[in-house]
A = this chain, B = another copy of it.
Amino acid sequence: MRTETSRFKDYIETKGLYFTPERQCIAEEVFSNHKHLDAEELLKILKTKGSKASRATVYRTLDLLVESGLVDKIDLGDGRAAYEHTAGHTHHDHLICIKCGSVEEFEEPLIEQLQDWACEKAGFKATGHNLNIYGYCRSCNATQ
């Protein structure tokens, strides 16, 4: 079985780039972590695991991961971005709590289809999209 990390290695090498230890560490962490990570969290986790990858390298590698299609970038709406690996789940969108910051996922295949349709009508060639709903999650709503 090919791991996501090995797919990333292939992607990197096909482009004639080097698969460095830093890139490996960062990729493995993103692929093994099932949460939505932002760059700063990722950097912190890497530090606790002994990686010395710098902030700059984290950002540069996240860009490569997104480019490879193995990772999605989610715009959090407050200027930050979160990242999540794409393997093992169909596309989904996000419910972002403006009180506690939690990010919940939801799936609605028909929405995807309607989006494709809208693009077609507009002659627009989509490369990605971002649907975030902001508000209060179930628990924050209860204690609000």
A residues lining the B interface (CB < 8 Å): 75, 77, 79, 93, 95, 97-98, 104, 106, 108, 110-111, 114-115, 117-119, 121-138, 141
Q: Which of B93, B124, B141 contacts A104 (CB 8 A)?
A: B124
**Contact in complex: B124, A130 (CB < 8 Å):** no
Give the copy number.
2
What are the residues of chain B within 8 A of A98 when measuring CB–CB? Answer: 127
Set of chain B residues within 8 Å of A114, measured between Cβ atoms: 108, 110-111, 114
Are B128 and A135 in touch, CB under 8 angstroms? yes
Chain B contacts of A104 at CB under 8 A? 122, 124
List 7 A-B pairs, minimum CB-CB distance, nearest first: A123-B138, A126-B135, A129-B133, A106-B118, A127-B135, A131-B131, A125-B136
